[in-house]
Amino acid sequence: MQLGLSVSDSDVSSFTPLVVLELADDTKAEAITWLLNRIRDKQQNGGAELLVNQLLFPAQDDQKPNPNVFVVGSTLQRLLNGAEDVGLFKEFQDGTMRGFTYANRESFKDFNGDGEGFLSDAECQYIIKHELDTLRAKNEEHVPGYPKLKLYPGKSVVRRLQSKGVLIQYFPLHNKEDLKRLSFSWYKKFKLSLQPLDDIRHYFGEGLALYFGFLEYFTFALVPMALIGIPYYLFDWEDYDKYVLFAVFNLVWSTVFLEVWKRCSATLAYGWGTLSRKKAFEEPRAGFHGALGFNPVTGREEPVYPSSKRQLRIYLVSVPFVLLCLYLSFYVMMVYFDMEFWAINIYNENPDIATSILLFVPSIIYAVVIEIMNLLYRFAAEFLTDWENHRLESSFQNHLVLKVLVFNFVNCFASLFYIAFVMQDMVLLRQSLATLLITSQILNQVMEAFLPYWLQRRRNKKVHKRMRRLMGDKELPLLGQVQLETEMNTYLGTFDDYLEQFLLFGYVSLFSCVYPLAAVLVVLNNITEVYSDAFKMCHVFKRPFSEPAMNIGVWQLAFETMSIIAVVTNCALIGLSPQVKAYFPESDTQLILIVVAIEHVLLAFKFILAFVIPDVPKHIQVNLAKLEFDSLEALKKRVILRIAFI
């Protein structure tokens, strides 16, 4: 549980710092004293019972350092008790995953001596975050020094301070030694092998490890399609109509891909102890507001906001805004087609190298505009979803995901659907798909990898230069590390990462039968994505808190919805192919009916397959059932002992 640094190096404290807490530099002294006392106070008195000390940065020539930066740690005993409070699952002596209890600590596999090293860094930091988040107001009517910052019994102190800007940020510190080892095994040495998912989980937590597990699985699952697509592209490039077999393979692949992933996800989650872990009670979001009311579940006073008002905001403002954005997306699409026809006319009048290059310009411009529109819409969607005032973070995320997915799907794929089924121009469809896919991948790599890397390098140089100027030859590892990490960008979660993979999955599953190199391009993109995302997590962003996860959440439903659309799309493309049309030369109606019937059969097959293939492997089901049985037996024994004692 060593973090590779010691606070004693800087003569600031005597414990191992795990979390940094930064308050606004003009925070009132009485508020700081009150908060620190609450953090240090015993649990029975309503405190968090954690260790906390102030970091004092030397004065600088150009600006005054923030004096309100603190490091938070904990005793090992407190962390072990906290592990039980948060419902942490660890490996038992018999190899099963069980909820940790301090009373049975000796029965867990890796618990030796006093338990040093039993909990990973990510777990320790998650426990501290939980204790800070559940630090509640007692009888205070307001935050000391801030009469307008009202409190009431049971209100989360940290969330209140965050919502009003008193608490700027709190984040877990990186472990230098562990980070160095992880970086070397993860991305610093190019090798054809699996990612160290267990090490990633140990350092960053289950949520992020599941994302990288999905990214790895998706990449490997694309390999068969890529291997089929390369010869198909090389030997059948000019024959645009012979894509029926590839479309059929696409149908089967998109179905099996997601069903097998569920089993892989369950296996990973079970091994990490999150599959059977009960979901923690969800507290109101920091930004949630409303009139003070009574929560019948917790028995505490907290803000209450009428659901009817939220629904009015959603249906009278958010939905019309989304529809307006979709209309603008369609308008931009029609402008793109005008540009496309203009470029084609110029090429037809004067076919040469310059005009042949000009044919790709409209698609490139359109791809750039799509990315810009997606980015602008994302900001608007976040603002609207925040304005809707959702009580829980999960509800906020679900509404945000829905808004973003609907717009991104239409914005990215509407032109391809129009070309495929209205214009029925497979040549233009192939060209547009290739241009959109390649351009979006280049832009994503620039925005997600090169730009953050360049900005972080500049920031690091400034911080190192400033620290050398202030400290001279004196080494203050903790102060330097905290100064550096405080100025790093905050990782906002896996939302954008899953969204990118969702769109790539759409390009492959919907239309790759007419452009078989799509899978090859996505494989290459994902290989670079692994390395760029790994580098960003280790060196560009602040270390995020661990987020326990048993699956990829709402994104599983998003991918499954895309796979259903892929069935309909590929069946329609098969119906449009000249080979199939040749069998029905005089009856389009009969062809349509047969295609629709086949599509229904395939959808039925897809749902049957989803039913037949268990989401959780059999041996894991047995272990979970055994664990439940043991829990019931233990409960019976406790009841019998209690009755006998009475």
Most confident of 470-484, 576-590, 615-629: 615-629
Residues 151 and 270 in one domain: no
Question: Do 141 and 212 fall within a single domain?
Answer: no
Is residue 192 a part of any domain in this protein? yes
Same-domain check for residues 568 and 630: no
Instruction: Kindly report, residue by residue over 369-396, the tens digit of the pLDDT.
Output: 998 999 999 999 999 999 998 888 888 8
* Residue 79 shares a structural domain with residue 200: no
* Residue 512 and residue 404 share a domain: yes
Percent residues over pLDDT 90 in the chain? 30
Cβ(417)–Cβ(572) below 8 Å: no
Which structural domain, as residue segments, surrounds residue 634? Answer: 619-645
Q: Give residue 466's pLDDT band: very low, low, confident or very high (50, 70, 90).
A: low
Residue 444 in domain: yes
**pLDDT per residue as tens digits for the range 487-534:** 888 888 889 899 999 999 999 988 877 888 889 999 999 988 888 889
Asked whether residue 24 is assigned to any structural domain, the reply reads yes
Q: Cα separation of 525 and 519, whole Å? A: 10
Q: Are residues 289 and 435 in the same domain?
A: yes
Is residue 461 very low, low, confident or very high in pLDDT (cuts 50, 70, 90)?
low
pLDDT tens readout for residues 530-550: 888 898 888 888 999 998 888
Per-residue pLDDT of 87-121, as tens digits, reads 888 888 887 788 888 888 888 888 888 888 899 88
Spatial CA neighbour of 175 closest among 156, 148, 199, 196: 199
CA–CA separation, 339 and 343 (whole Å)? 6
Q: Are residues 511 and 555 in the same domain?
A: yes
Query: What pLDDT does residue 104 have?
Result: 85
Last residue of a domain, one of 154, 173, 192: 173
Token digits of residue 470 = 């202030």
Please tell me whether residues 199 and 150 are part of one structural domain: no
Chosen domain end from 134, 151, 173: 173
Residue 5 lies in a domain: no
Encode 255-312 in three state secondary structure.
Answer: HHHHHHHHHHHHHHHHHCCCCCCCCCCCCECCCCCCEEEECCCCCCEEEECCHHHHHH
Does one domain contain both 219 and 288? yes
**Residue 324 included in any domain:** no
My answer on whether 87 and 38 are in the same domain is yes
Give the whole-angstrom CA distance, residue 368 versus residue 169.
34
Is 240's pLDDT higher than 50? no
Residue-wise pLDDT for 330-370, tens only, equals 999 999 999 988 988 888 888 888 888 888 888 889 889 99
In this structure, is residue 372 part of a structural domain?
no
Mean pLDDT of 418-424: 89
Radius of gyration of the chain (CA): 28
638 and 534 co-located in one domain: no
**Per-residue pLDDT at 208:** 93
Structural domain ending residue among the three candidates 173, 204, 227: 173
The total number of structural domains that make up the chain = 3
Q: Check: CB of residue 450 under 8 Å from CB of residue 540.
A: no
- 458 or 82, which is more confident: 82
Q: Which residue has the higher pLDDT, 194 or 209?
A: 209
- Mean pLDDT (whole number) for 142-155: 84
- pLDDT reported for residue 192: 60
Look at strands 51-55 and 291-294 and give their pairing. unpaired
Structural domain contains residue 201: yes
What average pLDDT is seen over the chain?
Answer: 84
Residue 347 lies in a domain: no
What pLDDT is recorded for position 12? 44
Q: Taking a C-beta distance cutoff of 8 angstroms, is the pair 263, 214 a contact? A: no
Domain identity same for 256 and 125? no
Q: Reply yes or no on whether the pLDDT at 1 is more than 50.
A: no
